[in-house]
Chains A and B, each alone.
Chain A
Amino acid sequence: MNLASLLVGAVQLALVVLGGPLLLGLMRVVRSRLEGRVGPPVSQPWRDIAKLARKQRTRPSESSWIFAVAPLVLVATAATVAVLAPLVTLAPPLASSTDFIAVIFVLLVGSVALALAALDTATAFGGMGASRALTIGALVEPALLVAVLALSMPLHSTNLIAIVANGSRHASTLLGPSHLLALCSFIVVILAESGRLPVDNPSTHLELTMIYEALILEYSGPDLAAVTLGESMRLAIWLGLFVNLVAPVGIAATAHPLALVVGLVALTLKVVVVGIVVAIFEVTTAKLRLFRLPELLAGGFILAVLGVVTGAVMR
């Protein structure tokens, strides 16, 4: 790990921290426009975070240290992945040991921390939300891991950097059936993991239909600001990983400044396009009934399994 790669990691972290809330704001604007409203400005999530950071912090009387540290764990895990993942460049710190499965589980630590914090509040909606979030998590992880298996087969390696680098060097692998099936499964996983429609409605006020929103009902002030920031960073990371697995165009192969600028612009453009597509999709779909969700997630799992099978057959 040299100075250049550390600098590159810092650039990626800054992009995810600053860009995550803006991505959330952009998706809200797109949804508002399609609903016939003007909508909030793109910078609205940042304005909310800045205001929340200056408000009082309240803690439920029964809660323990778990409730207090969960927002920090959420932000810290997202920040770790933002530094290590191949978002802007193929030369982030610790590139040789950035395992795809490790990245997934670091992100999972953040979601589990939030679910435990919701249980810790000892409120009815917190417990219900935690149960739902972990049920969905348990159905999503197998699909995600099998998709990773399909993506890693051509290289015999689950190194995330190597997988993305292989795609950027040999564009033909990007169109292979195994790769495409794995990415279709990845789409389902991203929608579920980041709490978007049709899995969860991020703008709902109805407690009984909430999944991820129910986890954070008791957070206020700086804690809520951290949770909002962490959630938006995770969304940016998932979409960033997805676009680089689909089309690693423009990603910087080295830590050269000019290549980094190109990588930064390319990643921003790609994530903005995918974010707009997800927002349009959200306006045109209804939320799935909770008991129908396993069917959707099982569909994602089957796609990933088919990806592994076709990958094995076509070798």
Chain B
Amino acid sequence: MNLRHSLQLRHVDAGSCNGCEIEIGSVFGPVYDAERIGARLVASPRHADALLVTGPVTHNMASPLERTYLAMPEPRLVIALGDCARDCGVFSGGYAVAGAVADVVPVDLEIPGCPPHPDEIVSALRRFTNR
């Protein structure tokens, strides 16, 4: 699937501390402005090309995350954003944590960092939009 110049993202907070959310906010703000490379946050998984997941997956969010993934039209991508999404980070072994994002849905791209710098998020999105 060629996603050149157009990438719609659906963001799911699977149990994040909101550190990554602040960085996502500035990715779409005036300084980093990911909209100029064709990326956009959308309101429905039906509209999305990629699922942007933050945080370790908690027991309560495991099923909503999977259902969001299944609601997306093919072809679909999953981006695990931040250390918690990759390997549960500091929450590893916590009583509420079901596992990393890759334990629930197949992950196509990981963005490391706690939280990742907006520049790194934009350059990761550029891999899909080619701009």
Contacts and interface: CB of A to CB of B under 8 A. Distances in A.
Interface of A: 32, 35-41, 44, 47-48, 50-51, 54-58, 204-207, 210, 213, 217-221, 224
Contacts of B4: 47
Interface of B: 1-6, 8, 29-30, 33, 35-36, 38, 40-44, 46-47, 49, 71-75
Contacts of B33: 32, 37-39
Q: Which 9 A-B pairs have the closest CB atoms?
A: A56-B73, A220-B46, A56-B74, A36-B30, A217-B44, A220-B73, A38-B36, A51-B6, A47-B6
A40 B36 contact: yes
Nearest to A57: B73
Contacts of B30: 35-37
Identify the interface centre among B1, B35, B74: most chain A CB within 10 Å of its CB: B35
Nearest to B44: A217
Contacts of B40: 40
Contacts of B47: 217, 219-220, 224
A218 B44 contact: yes
B7 to A, nearest CB: 9
A264 to B, nearest CB: 27
Contact of B3 (A38, A51, A58, A213): A51
Contacts of A37: 29-30, 33, 35-36
B69 to A, nearest CB: 13
A25 B71 CA distance: 28
25 contacts: A32-B33, A36-B30, A37-B35, A38-B35, A39-B33, A40-B35, A40-B36, A40-B38, A41-B36, A44-B38, A47-B6, A47-B38, A48-B6, A51-B3, A54-B1, A55-B1, A55-B49, A55-B75, A56-B75, A57-B73, A58-B46, A207-B43, A217-B44, A217-B46, A220-B73
A217 B43 contact: yes
Contacts of A205: 41-43
Contacts of A39: 33, 35-36
